[in-house]
Amino acid sequence: MKKRVLDKVIGDLNRKTNQVKDRIATMRALAYQIPEISSAQQAYSKAKFDSIKTGDSVAVKVARDAYVNALSKHGYKESDFEYTPSCNRCNDTGFHNGKLCACVKKQYIIALAKECDILNRAPFSFKDCNTSGMDEVQGKALKKLYDYAEEYVAKYPAVTKNILVFTGATGTGKSCLASAIARKAVLERGKSALVLTAYEFNSTCLNTHLAPIEDKERVLHDTLTADFLVIDDLGTEPILKNVTLEYLQLVLDERTREGRTTVITTNLSEKQLKDRYGERIFSRLSDTRHALLRRIPGKDLRLK
């Protein structure tokens, strides 16, 4: 996903740069069709070449003045024919010292956010995660998770746990927390994030399962390669034979192996998760070496 977006941003930059250079070349060609300018330019070029042997800088200055005057007479100036990069750091390539240049980073993040549909898919930020008005136990639990999650995104990919599972009753703030993680990842870190409901994730897996062999990787590509994958409300999707459990395990294993983060929210308890998805998947969700599983206490905040 990031490569696709970055290629488009850099491609747009290159096209704009080439368009400017083409306009300059066209203007130069038109100007040099004017005999007075063409003659003066040739004399200037010859004077510069001759000066290499003679060292006659005076002749070069005289020839250049004549060239500049000829341009001015017909409404041109030397700078009209010279391409000046808008960014002196990257020379309009988009990269500086092997990293994305600041001049295009803003456009990249805007394009990435659009590709991820992050403003719609992840409407809540960490600023929206407010613990005021909650009972003490729930407030402390959420505040601790907010702090952990915000620091987690700031450190990514230098993290030790690649699966974050938030369980709890309906309306306890799980989706808000997952949204804030995805939103910060894209808008502040420039990381890719795919936010899906459990039903949408299940549908993607089904489409992958039914796709021809040559198309399977393409259908599941973003799900496997996004820096952050959010599966919201796990447990609400139907269990499809040979699809739901098998592909969930595949995605978890592949993403963990590649060091990418999967965030899961669910109303199910640990026992219900184990009963529904089996020991193998539950072990991945609860393995403290690679996963953080936390239950958010409290009742539905939306009813308060």
On the question of pLDDT at 51 being above 70, the answer is: yes
pLDDT confidence of residue 299? 65
Determine the residue type at 236.
T
d(CA 249, CA 146): 27
d(CA 269, CA 231): 16
d(CA 233, CA 192): 20
Which is more confidently placed, 93 or 201?
201
Residue 173: strand, helix, or coil? coil
DSSP-derived secondary structure letter, 81: G
pLDDT confidence of residue 37? 94
Tens digit of pLDDT for each residue in 232-259?
Answer: 999 999 999 999 999 999 999 999 999 9
On the question of pLDDT at 11 being above 60, the answer is: yes
pLDDT confidence of residue 76? 93
Contact 245, 282 (CB under 8 A): no
On the question of pLDDT at 217 being above 60, the answer is: yes
Q: Pick the range with the lowest mean pLDDT from 61-70, 141-150, 219-228, 293-302.
A: 293-302
d(CA 174, CA 294): 10
pLDDT confidence of residue 300? 59
| Confidence band of 302 (pLDDT split at 50, 70, 90) | low
pLDDT confidence of residue 301? 55
Residue 218 CB neighbour total at 10 angstroms: 10
pLDDT confidence of residue 29? 94
Q: Pick the range with the lowest mean pLDDT from 123-137, 220-234, 267-281.
A: 123-137
pLDDT confidence of residue 45? 92
pLDDT confidence of residue 135? 75
Helix, strand, coil abundance in the chain, percent, nearest 5? 60, 10, 25
Tens digit of pLDDT for each residue in 19-43?
Answer: 999 999 999 999 999 999 999 999 9
pLDDT confidence of residue 130? 73
